[in-house]
Structure 1
Amino acid sequence: MTGIALLGAGIFAREEHLPAIEASPAFTLKAVYSRSQKSAEALAAAAANASSIDVYFDSPSVPGKSLDDLLARADVAAVIIALPILTQPAAVQKALTAGKHVLSEKPVASDLDSANQLLAWYGNLGSAAPIWAVAENFRFITSLNYAAEQVKKIGGSVTTFRLQMNSFVEPENKYFNTEWRKTPSYQGGFLLDGGVHFVAGLRLLLAAAGQKITQLAGFSALLEERLLPVDTIHAVALTQDGKSGSIGISFGTEFKSGLEVEIVTTKGAVTWNPRGVKTVTKGADGKKVEEEKAFEYDSGVKVEVVAFGQAIEAGKADPRQTPIEALRDLEILQRLLESGAGGAVVQKIAV
């Protein structure tokens, strides 16, 4: 099995990545890293084999315990990076330079300029470079992939589409209560941090119908003052065929919640939510036929870690985890934010 290290910060690394690594037949967890000794030790303590995991940190400074020391280990061939958004790109570069395969958390970077610079740097490493994969667990959710299969199955041309996500980030929310999220120094706040998930889901279903978003325009708002800089966006988007649909994402609606993505074609409609897929078509008699399939909740994280391991074995990144896919998610989200800031200024999607 491949020796792997987890570079993590906060609850998400403990609750999602540790179980995923431990469940993967491809990896053996060798070490963990976090900026402070306290958080690194807490991360290691949450692992099933805590006593056999080495702990690394940069504060306080202890000889042999830095991130550079971890990356120098010959028995660690890969790392999963789950660090704050602004610190991830430097960690990705450091790990790849050390010859480690990397699975880094979404978003690929805080903005398009930073992301493009990182992708260009990686491209210059050449074909012998370690694998760099970007984690977007929505592309591995069982129910969402089933929905994509249904979109392909019903066929037809897209007539419209819809992404609607509403939630409310409570003041005591465990993900909110990290300093880098409470006072974000990157665009969009939760709309960037979490919004790329929903964009990825919409893109997956549109791609199943042979479509992609090429233009969009929307309005943004801040409904909850603590969720700076904005927490809500409502937009209209166009595909390359000129078909329009809607995108609504809000983290500040206390009395409305839920997540749905819907694709409507000339042959039927598919509506997805994390626990079910509804397909509507016409039967031979011309009457509408509805089919619903229920699913257990599935975050997709374990499957994406397994896919990373399989990519290392195959020597090639899984297409669902390539940096360019993550860049496309980021571009749509950034253009939504830019359009909202300008009062529904039309934005074109280049990637």
Structure 2
Amino acid sequence: MSSPGLAILGAGIFAKEAHLPAIATLGPAVTELKAVYSRSEKSAAALASDAQAALKLDAPPAIYHDGDQNANLDVLLARTDVIAVLVVLPITLQPSIVRKALAAGKHVLSEKPVAPDVAGGRKLIKEYESEYKPKGLIWRIAENYEIEAGYQAAATVIRDGKIGKVTSFNARVVNHVPKDSKWYKTPWRTVPDVSSIDSEINSQTAAYPHWFSCVQYQGGFLLDGGVHTIAALRVMLPSPIVSLSGYASLNMEHLPPHDTINATARSFNGTHGIVELTFGAPVPSRSTLAGNGISITGTDGWIWVDQTKITNPNGNEENVLRITTKKVVRDKDGKDIGETEEVILERVRGVELELRSFFQAIGGKDDGFGGPLGALQDVAFIEAALNSNGSPVDLVALVDG
């Protein structure tokens, strides 16, 4: 039996640097990359070439783009040997392409966030639940932090009661995004509107209107990257976050509409915490010395999760999540006499794991990861923090509409 045929929709940095290596690791027994699509032939061809090298293919996957009506997205989606698509497109475009792919009968794994805003995500989820899920189609959100082994390991430590009853949490993510950053220089981030589209595509506005829905989306990098941190909290905290009060601001002019969020939040069981997210650090040291990571404190100890690098046995450097658990030690009379430390290192490989999970779901083994509703809750946190201006926001009511 042949493995599921896959197409990648989108030819940006993450498709090349994260998804291709993950597909290569999974191997052809899990999936075969049949095609790639981008708005321009040049970018699609570049990804196809990279795919051929990364996956060691005899020939590059087929190229589809908006410059040829005989080889556009509709033609790709009509292929019967492509049963699944990986959507790695600008945030404002994702929902329309997800709908298009589902309508064509394809299983869909779409990059986070689930949608540019809660209302749009809620509508898309409702359509999927009513129209496409009953047909057996799988739609998952590629939120790699949710499935990262490191965050799952931390969740297990907490769930097993090793730090006692959780009482508080703190998440700090401070990023410095200069104008020469490869992430900043992507056109849809710097000028996410019609003017950002190159001349080749401007000439085809009438034929391919879905590319011209790009408008400035809420939060900028905060939405794109901030949902990762909220997903990690969603995995680790024993009770969901249900309310917050926060402030948002723009501190670096090149990162509109906002680049910083500071919020206090409360979980359903009364646990409370602080979330600091910024992509507007003025200098690199503000990020490197900030102490980025997530701490969760309980009655018997605390846990700290951060990302670091190690040198593996092959001599190569790789990213790992470090989970440090500190637990109080008590004598027979219950007196505190010290603390113990346990450290777990888990290699960062969430993209690989989310892809494997997706194809297992297609095969009938659903592990529950990547559900759109969880991803919608992550967007709700960011949206609420952007609009709170100090007032409490009920996240449950926001998600429910």
Fold conserved (TM > 0.5)?
A: yes
Alignment of 1:129-144 (within 5 A): 129-144=136-151
Q: Which amino acid aligns with 2:228?
A: H
For residue 245 of structure 1, what is the amino acid of its counterpart?
A: G
Residue 325 of structure 1: how far off its partner (Å): 1.0
Q: Which residue of 1 aligns with 2:362?
A: 312
Alignment match of 2:228 (pick from 167, 176, 197): 197
Structure 1 SS opposite 2:93: helix
In the TM superposition, residue 28 of structure 1 has moved relative to its aligned partner by 0.6
C-alpha distance in structure 1 between counterparts of 2:368 and 2:327, whole Å: 30
Taking the aligned partners of 1:331 and 1:32, their CA distance within structure 2 comes to 31
Please state if 1:243 is matched with 2:271: yes
| Contact kept? 1:278, 1:290, Cα under 8 Å | no
CA contact (8 A) 1:44 1:50 kept: no
Distance 1:259 1:297, change over 3 A: farther
CA distance in 2, matches of 1:109, 1:197: 14
Counting only pairs closer than 5 Å after superposition, residues 149-298 of structure 1 correspond to structure 2 as 149-153=156-160, 154=162, 156-184=164-192, 185-206=216-237, 210-253=238-281, 254=283, 255-257=285-287, 258-274=291-307, 275-285=321-331, 286-295=336-345, 297-298=347-348
Q: Which amino acid aligns with 1:344?
A: G
Worse-matched range after superposition: 83-92 or 283-292: 283-292
1:291 CA drift (Å): 1.8
Show CA shifts across 1:267-302 (max 9, x none): 221111123111111224233323242536514111
Asked if 1:30 corresponds to 2:39, the answer is no
Alpha-carbon deviation of 1:152?
Answer: 1.5
Give the match for residue 62 of structure 2: 54
SS at structure 1 position matched to 2:152: helix
Q: Give the partner amino acid of 2:42.
A: K
Q: 1:330 to 1:50 in 2, by over 3 A?
A: farther
- What's the TM-score, normalizing by structure 2? 0.82
Q: Contact conserved, 1:189 with 1:231, CA < 8 A, in 2? A: yes
Alpha-carbon distance in structure 1 between the residues aligned to 2:338 and 2:390: 37
Residue number in structure 1 paired with 2:120: 114
Change in 2 beyond 3 A, CA 1:149/1:91: same
Determine what percentage of the aligned residue pairs are the same residue. 41
Cα distance 1:232–1:202, how it changes in 2: closer, same or farther (>3 A)?
same
Alignment check: 8 A CA contact 1:280 1:288 kept? no
The 8 Å contact of residues 49 and 60 in structure 2, kept in 1 or not, is answered as no
Tell me, in whole angstroms, the C-alpha distance in 1 between the residues paired with 2:6 and 2:274.
Answer: 41
Residue pair 2:163, 2:327 contacting (<8 A) in 1 also: no
Runs of 4+ in 1 over 3 A off after TM superposition: none
Task: Kindly provide the amino acid, as one letter, of the partner of residue 354 in structure 2.
Answer: E
Aligned partner of 1:128 in structure 2 is 135
240-249 vs 150-159, greater mean Cα deviation:
150-159
| Cα contact 1:276–1:292 (8 A) shared by 2 | no
The answer to whether the 8 A contact 2:329-2:340 is kept is no
Shift of 1:155: 5.3
The answer to which of 211-220 and 251-260 deviates more is 251-260
User: Structure 1 residues 315, 307: CA separation in 2 closer, same or farther (over 3 Å shift)?
Assistant: closer
The letter of the residue matching 1:18 is: L
Q: 1:53 to 1:62 in 2, by over 3 A?
A: same
Q: 1:36, 1:52 → 2: CA distance?
A: 17
Taking the aligned partners of 1:299 and 1:224, their CA distance within structure 2 comes to 31
Relative to structure 1, the CA distance from residue 294 to residue 315 in structure 2 (aligned partners, 3 Å threshold; closer, same or farther) is closer
Report what 2:22 is aligned to.
20
CA RMSD of aligned residues (A): 1.6
Take 1:269 and 1:127, find their aligned partners in 2: how far apart are those partners?
43
Give TM-score scaled by structure 1 length.
0.93
1:102-126: CA deviation from partner (whole Å, max 9, x where unpaired):
1000000000111011011111115
Taking the aligned partners of 2:117 and 2:225, their CA distance within structure 1 comes to 14
1:125-161 CA-to-partner distances (Å, cap 9, x unmatched) read 1522410011100012222211111112215322111
**Which residue type is aligned with residue 291 of structure 1?**
E
Cα deviations across residues 138-188 of structure 1 (Å, max 9, x unaligned)?
012222211111112215322111111011012111111111111241000
8 Å CA contact 2:330–2:338 kept in 1: the answer is no
Counterpart of 2:12 in structure 1 is: 10
Q: Distance in 2 between matches of 1:226 and 1:288?
A: 48
Do the aligned residues in 2 keep the contact of 1:22 with 1:29 (CA within 8 Å)?
no
Q: In structure 2, how many angstroms separate the alpha carbons of the residues matched to 1:222 and 1:50?
A: 48
- Code of the residue aligned with 1:128 in structure 2: it is K
Q: 1:80 aligns with which of 79, 82, 86?
A: 86
Partner of 1:148: 155
